[in-house]
Amino acid sequence: MTRGTPKAEITAARAHISETRRPTVAALEAILQTEHRVLDHGFVRVIDYMGDDAAVVQAARVSYGRGTKKISEDRALIRYLMRHWHSTPFEMCEIKLHAKLPIFVARQWVRHRTANINEYSARYSILDREFYTPAPAQLASQATTNRQGRGAVLDDEQAAHVLHLLRDDAERSYATYRRLLNDPDDPDHDADRTGLTRELARIGLSLSTYTQWYWKTDLHNLFGFLRLRADPHAQFEIRAYAELIWDIVRQWVPASCEAFEDYRMNAVSLSAAEADVVRQALTGTAMTRPRNISPREWSEFSARFGIIAT
């Protein structure tokens, strides 16, 4: 896996057609083995998948075949399952992706532990000289109200300075990495010097260096990943991957995605105290902050519904 999978290998994989008795999804079959570009050097590629919307229905009914003959009935059942937080039927669908991503994005991504991952081994192979460089529009100061968020975008002069520092640091750390390896393909190779083992030479690399992995997960846990990482509050870089994956998943299981959008991604949840306030408002009682709701929570509650609550 060097600089992505070789084009000849991808072409051969896309040209290979296998007969199967398992259900397939035409939209996903059409994009198998296709690299979808992300950020400056990254990509996501669908390697394989299992199941479809009908598999969710089949698992819920523990039946043989592909669900009812009426699509509307299958859709209604999927929405019921999502609405009532059933999980195992959605676990019957799986997808395997090949992703190329900066190391710091991978370290966020791997927090979603309910998946199978096999990452490019820098103990075995030499990493490519490829680093993530943010676009100027993504360079911002630290937010004052969010300890893990971005504030105002840097001006042109500041952005140019930051980009210079980032590129210089990545280039220098990679040059050191290659010198430590004393790789014969490196221009600075010294035939009289012994190189350092790869597992130690890598430790000084920048987190912007690109890595690759195969990532396989089921639909239930994939929805959990998308709910957090495709959210507008997620870090831009991992959100770029999540939004691309979300587009792929909508082609794969459209009915399940529709239910997920309605009951998870675009839904609004209420605490017991907030629900009591809503009940009171429906009877004509003024919406005032109860003592068991903090000012910050009350502000968030008001923002969810676009109202001014006292």
First-residue to last-residue Cα distance in the chain: 58
Q: What is the pLDDT of residues 200-251, one digit of tens each?
A: 999 999 999 999 999 999 999 999 999 999 999 899 999 999 999 999 999 9
Asked whether the predicted pLDDT for residue 259 surpasses 60, the reply is yes
Question: How are the residues of the chain apportioned to helix, strand and coil, as percentages rounded to the nearest 5?
Answer: 45, 15, 40
Question: Could you tell me which residues are beta bridge partners of residue 142?
Answer: 150
Is 7-132+208-265 a domain of CATH 3.40.50.300? no
Do the Cβ atoms of 174 and 204 come closer than 8 Å?
no
Cα(84)–Cα(159) distance, integer angstroms: 47
Mean predicted confidence (pLDDT) in 134-161: 86
Residue 65, helix vs strand vs coil = coil
Do the Cβ atoms of 245 and 238 come closer than 8 Å?
no
Q: What is the pLDDT of residues 42-51, one digit of tens each?
A: 999 999 999 9
| Active site annotation includes 198 | no
For the chain, what is the mean pLDDT? Answer: 90
- pLDDT band, residue 309 (cuts 50/70/90): low
For the chain, where do the domains classified as CATH 3.30.1360.170 start and end? Answer: 7-132+208-265
Cα(104)–Cα(210) distance, integer angstroms: 9
Q: What is the pLDDT of residues 294-307, one digit of tens each?
A: 988 888 888 888 77
Supply the pLDDT for residue 2. Answer: 47
Q: Which of 111, 229, 279, 289 is catalytic?
A: 229
- What is the enclosing helix (H) or strand (E) of 229? helix 219-229
